[in-house]
Amino acid sequence: MDQSNGRKNIPAEAVELYTRYIHGEVSRRAFLSGVKRFAVAGLTATAIIDALMPNYALGQQVSKTDERIKASYETVPSPNGNGYIRGYFVRPFSADTRDATPAKLPGIIVIHENRGLNPHTEDVARRFALENFMAFAPDALSSVGGYPGDDYKGGLLFNKIDAAKRTEDFVAAAQWLKSRADCSGRIGATGFCFGGSLANSLSVLLGADLGAAAPFYGGAPKPEDVAKIKAAILIHHGALDTQLAAAYPAQEAELKKNKIRYEGHVYPNAVHGFFNDATPERYNKAAAEQAWTRTIEWFNQYVRAA
Closest CA to 128 of 149, 154, 108: 108
The 10s digit of each residue's pLDDT in 200-234 is 999 999 999 999 999 999 999 999 999 999 999 99
The 10s digit of each residue's pLDDT in 129-178 is 999 999 999 999 999 999 999 988 999 999 999 999 999 999 999 999 99
For residues 213 and 188, the answer to whether their CB atoms sit within 8 Å is yes
Backbone angles phi, psi at 45, to 5 degrees: -60, -40
Q: 299: which residues sit within 8 A by CB, 6+ positions away?
A: 106, 108, 133, 188, 211, 212, 214
Distance CA 265, CA 233 (A): 11
Closest CA to 135 of 115, 121, 154: 121
Closest CA to 281 of 117, 54, 62, 57: 54
Distance CA 230, CA 98 (A): 37
Distance CA 23, CA 271 (A): 14
Domain architecture of the chain: domains with CATH: 12-52 (no CATH), 65-304 (3.40.50.1820)
Counting residues of the chain whose pLDDT is more than 90, the rounded percentage is 74
For residues 82 and 165, the answer to whether their CB atoms sit within 8 Å is yes
The 10s digit of each residue's pLDDT in 56-89 is 998 999 999 999 999 999 999 999 999 999 999 9
CB-based burial, 161-187: b 16+ in 10 Å, e otherwise: beeeebbbbbbbbbebbbebeebbebb
